[in-house]
Amino acid sequence: AQKVTQAQTEISVVEKEDVTLDCVYETRDTTYYLFWYKQPPSGELVFLIRRNSFDEQNEISGRYSWNFQKSTSSFNFTITASQVVDSAVYFCALSEGNRDDKIIFGKGTRLHILP
């Protein structure tokens, strides 16, 4: 069965610090997709990234970077030089095969960036 674990329920860091959000997943499929979403206080989920299981290359987008390691079934998300606007709940998620329509979410990590 597929499962996504975000062990960090809540994290607080001071602005400008780097912070890493952990994500560990379980799946029996060899083809799967991993996602990160951001949920600000307004409630709408915002798509951040999608990574397929065959592409282990790390990705950087501005202050955001993602580290995908199949050997440890992890897909961690790092925010560099955090800002107060980064405060939100972040969800890691998984879909199997070509079923992007059914996404299994982790419980989320609430990130507080303190000024």
Partner 1 sequence: KAGVTQTPRYLIKTRGQQVTLSCSPISGHRSVSWYQQTPGQGLQFLFEYFSETQRNKGNFPGRFSGRQFSNSRSEMNVSTLELGDSALYLCASRDFSYEQYFGPGTRLTVT
- The correct pick among 88, 94, 103, 113 for binding partner 1 (CB under 8 A) is 103
Q: Please, which residues bridge with residue 104 across strands? A: 94
- The correct pick among 11, 15, 45, 80 for binding partner 1 (CB under 8 A) is 45
- Rule CB under 8 A: say whether 44 interacts with partner 1: yes
The H or E element spanning position 38 is strand 32-39
Instruction: Classify residue 1 by its DSSP letter.
Output: -
- Rule CB under 8 A: say whether 7 interacts with partner 1: no
Q: Which is nearer to partner 1, 1 or 85 (CB)?
A: 1
Q: Which is nearer to partner 1, 16 or 99 (CB)?
A: 99
- The correct pick among 26, 29, 31, 46 for binding partner 1 (CB under 8 A) is 46
Rounded to whole angstroms, the Cα distance separating 43 from 56 reads 30
CB of 47 to partner 1, least distance (A): 5
Would you call 66 exposed, middle or buried from its count of C-beta atoms within 10 A (0-12, 13-18, 19+)? buried
